[in-house]
Amino acid sequence: MNVNIPAEFDDIRPYTSEELPIVFDRLLADPTVKGFIKSFVRHIPYFLIKMRIKSCKTNLEFQKKIIYPIVEKSWNNCTTGCTFDYSATPDKTKRYSFISNHRDIVLDSAYLSGLLNKHGFETTVEIAIGDNLLIKPWIKDLVRINKSFIVQRSLTGRELLMASKRMSEYMHFAVTQKRENLWIAQREGRAKDSNDRTQDAVLKMLAMGGKGTPIESLKELNIVPLAISYEYDPCDYLKAKEFQQKRDNPEFKKSKEDDLLNMATGIKGFKGEVHYCTAPCINEWIDELADLPKTEVFTAIAQRIDKEIHLRYRLYACNYIAADMLNNTAEHTSNYTQADKEKFEYYLNERIGLIDLPNKDEAFLRKSILTMYANPVFNQLAAQV
């Protein structure tokens, strides 16, 4: 859809169709990009890939022609199936802002766009991505071609406040004027222990750019809670390693190389079954909170979004096994077999074996990984009460 985009959004929005030819030329001239692309499509000569990329006239066309086949390959090679239950949001012509739990840096949003495309929705999603991940110029170009808008996390104080307001205004513009879907994680960064909780700050940011009361502003975005379930998390051992590093050194911060490793491991690692499930749009119930004091509104909305997500997790045998192993109980044995347990114990030992730390605390690392797989069980049980 052609609309005039205010210049104030120029450095955070996805590239426009008119900008794509210049960006394609810049991107395809980078030898690093050639290696990156060839790692996914080895069987196609690079000159044909370049021609196919340059033939794309819009960001959506780029996603359908270039990204969707890569996503399909990932489903075929790295999962045992990726399913989508959108029965709570069946209108494929409507525009939504999906707020989801966050498991994988790259694939959470990529799989969602792929599923929307596969199931006949009119368009995919524009993706919120933190500027901390844009560690190379070509990565920034690639994500902005791929319908990403930039979350400026490296600012502080008033600059951060103004940047948040501008991003919120852009998101409202994208839904109401550009007629785009959006995806944003429910919190900054991944919940590495899988204890998924929506941050009030995310909802406050979303409300800043709309009209009227906070509730009226949020309704403008058509927010849909989205539960993402991975049977196995390829980055589980990297997350456990980071937990120990932060335990041993509270000042520890991941390097850019760590971020790249997490991205590559998440993309290429085995995930088992993957399932996406939408909850009803929050517009169906948010007016019930209109009489709450303003100080309580965002917390109440966050808690309701959490409940909607927790109820829609798809739980696998490994989740129930981890919950029983962590609590030293047999409470969930009806959900798995002895063979399932032996398979998961082998998997767990294998993951711990991948962790390279000089002062490796295997008991701590084991508990960290079990907690990641068990928390979705505990959250779903609490949401059912």
Q: Are residues 21 and 54 in contact, defined by beta-carbon separation less than 8 angstroms?
A: yes
Which parts of the chain are beta strand (E)?
79-85, 97-100, 125-130, 148-151, 181-185, 223-230, 272-278
User: What is the architecture, at CATH level 2, of domain 7-230+279-310?
Assistant: 3-Layer(aba) Sandwich (3.40)
Could you give the CA distance from residue 18 to residue 23 in angstroms, rounded to a whole number? 10
Q: Torsion-angle region of residue 317: left (phi > 0), alpha (psi -120 to 50) or beta?
A: alpha
Q: Take residue 253 and report the two structure tokens written for it.
A: 């911060």
Distance of CA 59 to the CA centre of its chain: 19
pTM score of the predicted model = 0.96
Parse the chain into domains and list their residue ranges: 7-230+279-310, 235-268+315-385
What is the C-alpha end-to-end distance of the chain, expressed in Å? Answer: 45
Q: Are residues 376 and 311 in contact, defined by beta-carbon separation less than 8 angstroms?
A: no
- Does an H or E element contain 198, and which? none
pLDDT (tens place) for every residue of the chain, 385 residues total: 578 999 999 999 999 999 999 999 999 999 999 888 888 877 889 899 999 999 999 999 999 999 999 999 999 999 999 999 999 999 999 999 999 999 999 999 999 999 999 999 999 999 999 998 898 899 999 999 999 999 998 888 999 999 999 999 999 999 999 999 999 999 998 999 999 999 999 999 999 999 999 999 999 999 999 999 999 999 999 999 999 999 999 999 999 899 889 999 999 999 999 999 999 999 999 999 999 998 899 999 999 999 999 999 999 999 999 999 999 999 999 999 999 999 999 999 999 999 999 999 999 999 999 999 999 999 999 999 9
Length of the chain: 385
C-alpha distances (whole Å) from 277 to each of 94, 112, 157, 218, 380 are 17, 10, 36, 21, 14
